Amino acid sequence: KAGVTQTPRYLIKTRGQQVTLSCSPISGHRSVSWYQQTPGQGLQFLFEYFSETQRNKGNFPGRFSGRQFSNSRSEMNVSTLELGDSALYLCASSLNNEGQETQYFGPGTRLLVL
């Protein structure tokens, strides 16, 4: 079974631009979570989608948004990019994201904002 895939793997943008990142979960998984990883803040939860609905949201500004499609693929969008948005963005999938289920992570998208 194929793992979680993320595209693109690397991205360079300038301040003020917007960016869209894509995540394809493991086949059969309906939950997709997004995380931002930076050296200073570690892993921070962005949001989680299940059956095309956002179920959980972390403490990020409204510039960060996402969506999930009927095939469980998810996209994350960041508008009006700031230098501080430079990070590794990770997505993780699980069946239903309940209790003892494991979250499986993709390789991440490394975003550099200049």
Note the residues at the interface with other proteins (CB under 8 A).
Answer: 4, 6, 31, 33, 42-43, 45, 48, 50, 55-56, 58, 90, 92, 96-100, 102-108, 110
Strands 87-94 and 104-105: antiparallel
Query: 18 or 88, CB closer to other proteins?
Result: 88
Taking the C-alpha atoms of residue 89 and residue 34, their distance in angstroms, rounded to an integer, is: 7
Query: 28 or 99, CB closer to other proteins?
Result: 99
Taking the C-alpha atoms of residue 103 and residue 87, their distance in angstroms, rounded to an integer, is: 20
Minimum separation from the CB atom of position 27 to other proteins (A): 17
Tell me phi and psi for residue 37, to 5 degrees.
-120, 125
Q: Which tokens is 61 given?
A: 């500004």
Q: Which tokens is 68 given?
A: 């999930």
Query: 75 or 104, CB closer to other proteins?
Result: 104
Minimum separation from the CB atom of position 99 to other proteins (A): 6
Minimum separation from the CB atom of position 51 to other proteins (A): 11
Query: 65 or 104, CB closer to other proteins?
Result: 104
Minimum separation from the CB atom of position 25 to other proteins (A): 13
Taking the C-alpha atoms of residue 45 and residue 35, their distance in angstroms, rounded to an integer, is: 5
DSSP label at 46? E
